[in-house]
Chain A
Amino acid sequence: MSSKFNQRFLLLSLFAAILAVLVVGRPTQHTSAQAATAAPTSSMVMTAVATMPLKNGKPQELHVYNYTTYIADDTISNFEKLYNVKVTYDTYTSMDELYSKIQGGNPGYDIIVPADYTVSQLIKANLLEPLNLDNIPNFKKNADSKFQNPPYDPGNKYSVAYQWGTIGLGYNSKKISRELNSWGDLFDPAFKGRVALLKNGRETIATFLIYLGKDPNSTKPEDLAAVKDLILKNKANIAAFHDSDGQTKVAKGELDLISDWSGDFFQVMADPANKDLGLKYVIPKEGAVLWTDNLTIPKGAPNKALAELFINYIYDAQVGASISNYTQYGSPNKAAIDQKMIDADALANPALYPPADVAKKLALLGDIGDAQAAYDQVWAEIVAGVSQ
């Protein structure tokens, strides 16, 4: 065929393809200039309903990346209505997923919610924007002093606490008649094939380090090997590793006993449809991991000012209370607690707000630096070994 024909055809199809991409594709290209044109000034007071100025005639956008089941049904929509902005809300199920998505460069999120040990990693890797606490007056005003100036982020330079909780045992007491109070109960042969562990390497390994009486932040290879041997010896019990949906499975009757985050399990317990199931959550006697998740702004966030406004909004006593009442996690918002906005049963629940004697046995997870690779490796071996 002639070359003229070729050329015409080629041009036409190239044109069609380009047209398609332009018309339908929407590249996200943010430059720092755009962030600068976002308008709000330094102090925004919550009580005044201040709508955010429009950008290019459209409401400003906030991109939030948070854990699943970690916000009340109406928190986001209320924020959108209050400030006339749009929020995209994406979820992840594990710290690993979050970190790996941010590690390659911020794909466009304004708010991410890492755990305390992940915050240290992110700070070291220079992946977080420093916070201007003047734009977040509610934090200083409302946060419990325990969460101001935490060890993993002195001076709250990069993070403020969002929710905190423990990792404990959640189980179906209708199927399991005796009281459970030890991590060893997970390995009771009576529960063969009815157990699930949290699919989080760092947190699950730390949990069993606590059970074995070792340092939960240990980087010693023999300690990690001991945890691996313990779990693999009892692999017959483990039916699944759940990435934060284990509580749904217990409610559905597919599993009977899981290690889980406190609030996730309490959420399912609080669902009126599940009230006859006899679900229980306990902090075992050997102790447990106490974690704090934090609101942070990843580096290169498209709209940092709006992000700080969002954080300030979360720290409003009412909003903070509604979040904690829904997610059933511990609230760092002292004002909400003092003003009795948090459910009284939650406050009285020793598994949710542990009293001093239990709190002594709770451990914080710190930075393990380069031992992360060793943890990842041991965890991969545990997961693979359990499946044999």
Chain B
Amino acid sequence: MVWPAAIWLIVFFVLPLVVVVLYSFLTPSTIYQAGGPFTLANYARVTDETYTSILERSVIIAIVTTLISVVTGYPLAFFIATRPKATRNVFLLLVVVPFWTNFLVRTYAIAFVITDNGLINTILVSYLHLIDQPLRMMYTPFAVFVGLVYGYLPFMVLPIYTSIEKFNFRLVEAAHDLGANDLRAFLRVMLPVTLPGVLAGCILVFIPALGAYVTPDLLGGAKALMVGNQIKDFVFSTTGKPFGSALSLTMMLIVVVALLLYYRFADREA
């Protein structure tokens, strides 16, 4: 019963990853894509500052994106979960529907708003006359943050919403009775109980943000190079496939660490 799916995944998912691991130990070659001898040179090169700095930056960008998503997503989820049942689905839809449109289209929409003669700058410069020169937002790390949060916010909102929906608000009442104010009630009661949803949202945002390619490519320019862009450049270059493989596996290592952390924390909560 499960064999068709299992075989498909093994052949087209596990096997390619094995090939990638293999490639990461091969020597680059101009004529063929890669060949023997087996070498650790690619991994040695990954430790070079050029690449570790980009990995570092990608991790930081992913973490910041996750934090912004939590801070924005939790209140949003709380808001939706506390609407009357009739309207709740509408508000939920309003979050999800933008997500159902094409990712490229949404990225272009952001570009359209923040570019030098885009919406924001046109309003600030031509209509409100608040500033003379347009605000440089495009091709900056700021643009990448905006694009990433924009793309992944629903991933954060939905799990948190699920958690909050199941939350028993009587617990908060009890906390109030015991003298806690709203902040304490939230931190000591609500947050811990809804934490599984928050953690699920975090991992669902962190991983794609870490490996993001389209957003930094279209919005970030040269200044927001992330590891995903580097990997793509290497794969589509003359001698870069082995090193691209090594770099990709190094990034995967970070993903695995994040997942392990997630399971460690999620288990404690359960």
Contact partner of A193 (CB less than 8 A), chosen from B1, B33, B136, B225, is B136
B158 an interface residue at 8 Å Cβ cutoff? Answer: no
Are A372 and B239 in contact, with the CB atoms below 8 A?
A: yes
CB interface residues, B 205-224, toward A, < 8 Å: 221-224
Are B116 and A254 in contact, with the CB atoms below 8 A?
A: yes
Are B138 and A387 in contact, with the CB atoms below 8 A?
A: no
B30 an interface residue at 8 Å Cβ cutoff? Answer: yes
A189 an interface residue at 8 Å Cβ cutoff? Answer: no
Are B230 and A380 in contact, with the CB atoms below 8 A?
A: yes
Stretch from A72-80, A149-157, A159-167, A233-241 that touches the partner? A233-241
Contact partner of B30 (CB less than 8 A), chosen from A6, A10, A121, is A121
Range for the number of chain B residues in contact with chain A? 35 or more
B12 an interface residue at 8 Å Cβ cutoff? Answer: no
**Chain A residues, CB < 8 A from B230:** 380, 383-384
**Chain B residues, CB < 8 A from A121:** 30, 238
Q: Which residue of chain B has its CB nearest to the CB of A371?
A: B30
Are A381 and B50 in contact, with the CB atoms below 8 A?
A: yes
Are B3 and A10 in contact, with the CB atoms below 8 A?
A: yes
Are B1 and A6 in contact, with the CB atoms below 8 A?
A: yes
Query: Distance in Å from the Cβ of B64 to the closest Cβ of chain A?
Result: 16
**Chain B residues, CB < 8 A from A376:** 28, 237-240
How many chain A residues touch B (CB < 8 A): the figure is 41
**Chain A residues, CB < 8 A from B21:** none
Are A370 and B139 in contact, with the CB atoms below 8 A?
A: no
CB interface residues, A 194-247, toward B, < 8 Å: 196, 201, 238-241
**Known contacts A253-B116, A372-B30; is A383 also within 8 Å of B239 by CB?**
no
**Known contacts A380-B233, A383-B233; is A254 also within 8 Å of B239 by CB?**
no
Report the separation of the CA atoms of residues A387 and B58 in the bound assembly, to the nearest whole angstrom: 12
Q: Which residue of chain B has its CB nearest to the CB of A7?
A: B1
Query: Distance in Å from the Cβ of B77 to the closest Cβ of chain A?
Result: 34
Q: Which residue of chain B has its CB nearest to the CB of A92?
A: B236
**Chain B residues, CB < 8 A from A101:** 236
Report the separation of the CA atoms of residues A6 and B1 in the bound assembly, to the nearest whole angstrom: 6
Report the separation of the CA atoms of residues A17 and B4 in the bound assembly, to the nearest whole angstrom: 9
Report the separation of the CA atoms of residues A381 and B234 in the bound assembly, to the nearest whole angstrom: 12
A278 an interface residue at 8 Å Cβ cutoff? Answer: no
**Known contacts A239-B221, A253-B117, A376-B240; is A384 also within 8 Å of B235 by CB?**
no
Q: Which residue of chain A has its CB nearest to the CB of B216?
A: A387
Are A100 and B224 in contact, with the CB atoms below 8 A?
A: no
Query: Distance in Å from the Cβ of B92 to the closest Cβ of chain A?
Result: 33
**Chain A residues, CB < 8 A from B238:** 96, 99-100, 103, 121, 372, 376
**Chain A residues, CB < 8 A from B51:** 384
Are A103 and B32 in contact, with the CB atoms below 8 A?
A: yes
Contact partner of B50 (CB less than 8 A), chosen from A239, A252, A370, A385, is A385
Are A100 and B30 in contact, with the CB atoms below 8 A?
A: no
B31, B33, B57, B234, most chain A CB atoms within 10 A: B31
A6, A10, A377, most chain B CB atoms within 10 A: A377
CB interface residues, A 119-133, toward B, < 8 Å: 121, 124-125
The 6 closest A-B pairs by CB, nearest first: A387-B225, A240-B221, A125-B31, A96-B237, A384-B50, A373-B239
Residues of chain B at the chain A interface (Cβ within 8 Å): 1, 3-4, 28, 30-33, 45, 50-51, 53-54, 57, 115-117, 136, 138-139, 221-225, 230, 233-241
